[in-house]
Structure 1
Amino acid sequence: MTLRLGDTAPDFEQDSSIGKLHFYEWAGEAWVVLFSHPADFTPVCTTELGLTAKLKPEFDRRNVKAIALSVDAASSHKAWIDDIEHTQHTVVGFPIIADEDRKVSALYDMIHPEASATATVRALFVIDPAKKVRLMITYPMSTGRNFDEVLRVIDALQLTDKYTVATPGNWKQGDDVIIPLSVQDPQVLAQKYPKGFTAERPYLRLTPQPGK
């Protein structure tokens, strides 16, 4: 199965480090970061899951839940969590899906045969409360993910869902944003962007971030 942006994220029931998990019920009305890792007790994955655990306050502030996955068993996940917590000095407060039958990996196309016929690559999905896929990033097995970028994109998605704006390259919280080309009426411009805007070109109009 090939997922694309805007598709409905597949629902599933699967064992996990916290027991049987029904994905939609677990997600509730939150945003979700679902990410896979190649295997338990591996160094890059250990650092990634430790970093995710430390980011819990940032995820909470954005109404985001994290959930990891690999094709190892739940018993392996539980033993590995102990290692993660001791070596990364944190508490793993999110579940790890035990995808031994590769069911979820197939639903989300997480196994890329030319990279590995059995292990999942470093796939990451951001899923909104309506269960729509909003972001997909795939990293090679040898490269740890940049979770600062994941938070940055979630900020951008939540901002552009709330206001009629787009975000420029390298945008971060507090930076100016872009007025979409679909907004041309002067009265609408004045209503939506009361702080005004600067136009480098007719198609490139920057305005202060709304809500700041």
Structure 2
Amino acid sequence: MDSPVPAATTDQRPLRMGDIAPDFQARSTLGPVKLSDYRGRWLVFFSHPADFTPVCTSEFVAIARAAEAFAALDCGLLGLSVDSLYSHLAWVRAIRDGFDVTIPFPIVEDPSMAIGRAYGMIDADSADSSAVRATYFIDPDGVIRAMTWYPLNVGRSVEEMLRMVAALQRTAGDDVLAPEGWRPGGDLLATAPQDQQAVLAGHDMAWFHRTQADAG
């Protein structure tokens, strides 16, 4: 199934936080997938350089084992690489046979690199996908709320992916901030006053860093 996503051009502005995630339709290990089908829930959309590689295998095993934790956050998972659907299927079987882990989420094929280039995962002039290990955290409205990029030789932290989703959900729509290392149930930060009168009226020396219990 051809993807309607156009290849990125050298003068195309890179995707940024706050942009609408480009829609696409493609084949996956669990059947045809359309990104907009995930509207209404959170989505972690992540790419990997290639099937049957050591770091990517470690990531997919760990993400599969954490799938229920993502589901508890009402967050879908969607993987992608430039490998063909048949390579994905063979890799999924090898992971099941070698690690006793079944990949429960779709892995999208992108042999033309159209999706990867549209997302900026692959440079428009690149002939291969060796630089791809990107993660997009997409909200229920299809807006990219966070992005992470890792090099070929360093695997992502699944714990941090879960923490990112939880923090984005907790701070969405509320006038609160998630501090360093925040975990659900931990103290949050209040937004700092935005004018001199409010700052001078208070007696708290740390007016710019006020913690508060999570009442949500």
TM-score by length of 1: 0.86
Structure 2 residue aligned with 1:167: 178
Preserved CA contact (<8 Å) 1:181 1:203 = yes
Distance in 2 between residues matched to 1:11 and 1:135, nearest whole Å: 17
Partner Cα separation in structure 2 for residue 157 and residue 143 of structure 1: 24
* Distance verdict in 2 for CA 1:109–1:94, change over 3 Å: same
- Off by >2 Å, runs of 4+ in structure 1: 86-89
**TM superposition shift of 1:161:** 1.2
How far off its partner does 1:162 sit? 4.6
Moved more, 51-60 or 82-91: 82-91
Are 2:30 and 1:18 equivalent residues in the alignment?
Answer: yes
Give 1:87 shift: 2.5
Identity %: 36
Residue-by-residue CA offset, 1:7-64 (whole Å, 9 max, x unaligned): 0000001121123222212x13111111110111111111111111111110111001
- How far apart in 2 are the matches of 1:182 and 1:154? 27
The aligned residue for residue 199 of structure 2 is none
The answer to whether 1:62 aligns with 2:81 is no
How far the C-alpha of 1:121 sits from its partner, in A, is 1.1
What amino acid is aligned across from residue 13 of structure 1 in structure 2? Q
5+ residue gaps, structure 2, are: 1-11, 196-202
Classify the secondary structure of the residue corresponding to 1:137. strand
User: Is the deviation greater in 43-52 or in 154-163?
Assistant: 154-163
**2:83 touches 2:109 (CA, 8 Å); kept in 1?**
yes
Number of matched pairs:
196
Q: Could you tell me how far 1:139 is from its partner in structure 2?
A: 0.2
- Contact kept, 8 Å, 1:199 with 1:206, in 2: the verdict is no
Q: Distance in 2 between matches of 1:207 and 1:53?
A: 34
CA distance in 1, matches of 2:210, 2:180: 14
Q: Distance between the aligned counterparts of 2:93 and 2:205, measured in 1?
A: 54
1:201 aligns with 2:212: no
Q: CA–CA distance in 1 between the matches of 2:47 and 2:20?
A: 18
- Structure 1 residue 143: Cα displacement: 0.6
Q: TM-score, normalized by length of structure 2?
A: 0.84
Judge conservation of contact 2:21–2:138 (CA < 8 Å) in 1.
yes
Structure 1 residue ranges without an equivalent (≥5)? 185-197
2:144 is the alignment partner of 1:139: no
Which residue of 39, 48, 55 corresponds with 1:44? 55
Deviation, 1:169, is 1.2
